[in-house]
Amino acid sequence: MGDDHYAPKPASREPAEMTTEEPPAAVKSADRVLDVFELLADAEQGLTHTEIAASLGIPKGSLTKLLKTLVAREYLSFDELRRTHTLGPSVRMLSDRPAHVLRLIDTATPHLLALTLAINESSALNRLNGRSAEVIATATSSHRLVSHLRNGDLAPLYAVSGGKAILADMPQDKLSRYLATTRFEPVTSHTILSPNGVLAELETIRQLGIAYSREEYTPGIIGIGISLDLPPVYPKCSLNFAIPAVRVTESLQDQAIKALKDAKAVIEAQVSSAELFV
Question: Looking at the predicted structure, is the pLDDT value of residue 4 above 90?
Answer: no
Q: Which of 161, 171, 167, 168 is nearest to 182 (CA)?
A: 167
pLDDT category of residue 148 using cuts at 50, 70 and 90: confident
Mean pLDDT in residue range 79-96: 90
Kindly report the CATH number that applies to the domain delimited by 21-87: 1.10.10.10
* Residue 14, pLDDT score: 42
CATH topology of domain 95-275: Beta-Lactamase (3.30.450)
Question: Looking at the predicted structure, is the pLDDT value of residue 8 above 50?
Answer: no
* Residue 3, pLDDT score: 65
pLDDT category of residue 242 using cuts at 50, 70 and 90: very high
Mean pLDDT in residue range 225-254: 96
For CATH 1.10.10.10, list the domain ranges present in the chain.
21-87
